Structure 1
């Protein structure tokens, strides 16, 4: 299953907020066997949201959009989703019923627009906050507040799946350039995907659908590199 992540928010683009949602979702999806192939940040503009969602919906099995939910002037994600699918955004009776029955809010408590979703959307209740999310076709819309996003993802996590991939790593106390030949060889010999991430030391990540291949590749590599102490 190929997934694209879209984070909405001027505050992310300005560097005021770190995009931890994309990191967390990528970890959760990869653990379930889904493959995240795009992570995109767009501003709080309806046209930008609609353009990216429309493009990714056509290309990927699922799209997850986070941020920009609610009734304030810069919460434009639902309008963007509606525009992407050519659907109006209007009061969603199921969302309103959930907010008043389970959320404990009265109609007067809710700001205009809180329970508005694209026509035909499947409502996702916000069990941590207020603004509901939704699903339109294979586009999942979650809040940007991390606790709310995580709670909502849990409601639909089983809808994301794929072939489980196994990973392990070797930390090498050598320059990345000096490791190229051995990384190429281990990849060819064991058929694993190899990634290298330099820092104080080099983290060599090994990945495959075959757990035994990962274990064998790690053992082979450990014998041929100078490992760093963790």
Structure 2
């Protein structure tokens, strides 16, 4: 399963807000065996949202959109998603019922921003706030407030599944530039994905669907690099 993430908000592009939603969703989806192929941030503009969502809807199995959902003037994500799907925003009875019956809101106090969804959409109820999300075709829409988005994702998480990868890491104090020949060799010898991440030390990450192959690649490199003193040299995870 291949998906794209779209985060919406002028505040993200201006650096006023850290885009934790994208990294959290990517982590959750990857752990479920889903390949995240794109992460794109767009401003609070209907045309921009519609263009990106429309393009990604045609290219990937699912598109997850966060941000710009709610009652204020800059909450235009639903408008953009509706435009991408070629439908109008209409009153959603299921959203209204949930807000009045479970949220404790009076119908007269609710705005179109919290009760109108793209025509034909399935509502994703918001147990942590007022603004609902929705699913239309293969597009999933969530509010940008992290606590709300995470709770709502949990209700649809089982709709995203694949073969969870096995991961092993090797850490070394050697500079990344000195590892180039060995990284090239391990990539040639083993059919696994290899990532190299420098920082206080270099962490080399091996990923694949075959646990033995991932372990063998990590072991091969581990024998050929300086160990990281006082730290675990490797970690392997696998999930069904």
Q: The TM-score by the shorter chain falls in which range?
A: over 0.9
**Aligned-residue CA RMSD (Å):** 1.0
Question: 1:136 and 2:136 equivalent?
Answer: yes
2:149 match: 149
Question: 1:97 and 2:75 equivalent?
Answer: no
Show structure 1 runs of 4+ deviating over 6 A. none
Count residues with an aligned counterpart: 230
Structure 2: gaps spanning 5 or more residues: 232-240
2:210 match: 210
1:19 match: 19
Query: Is contact 1:123-1:132 (8 Å) kept?
Result: yes
Matches within 5 A, 1:1-230: 1-229=1-229, 230=231
2:238 match: none
Query: Is contact 1:71-1:113 (8 Å) kept?
Result: yes
Shift, 1:112, TM fit: 3.7
Greater mean alpha carbon deviation, residues 166-175 or residues 74-83: 166-175
Query: Is contact 1:91-1:113 (8 Å) kept?
Result: no
CA distance in 2, matches of 1:24, 1:46: 25
TM-score for both structures, normalised by structure 1: 0.97
Deviations 1:136-155 (A, max 9, x none): 10000011001100111111
CA distance in 2, matches of 1:36, 1:177: 28
CA distance in 2, matches of 1:120, 1:142: 17
Deviations 1:3-47 (A, max 9, x none): 000000000000000100000100110111100000000000000
Deviations 1:79-122 (A, max 9, x none): 00111111110211110011001111111332342111000000
Query: Is contact 1:171-1:204 (8 Å) kept?
Result: yes
TM-score for both structures, normalised by structure 2: 0.93
SS in 2 for 1:126: coil
Shift, 1:196, TM fit: 0.5
SS in 1 for 2:151: helix
CA distance in 2, matches of 1:108, 1:209: 53
SS in 2 for 1:40: strand
Query: Is contact 1:172-1:202 (8 Å) kept?
Result: yes
Deviations 1:126-175 (A, max 9, x none): 01111000001000001100110011111111111112211121111111
CA distance in 1, matches of 2:4, 2:112: 30
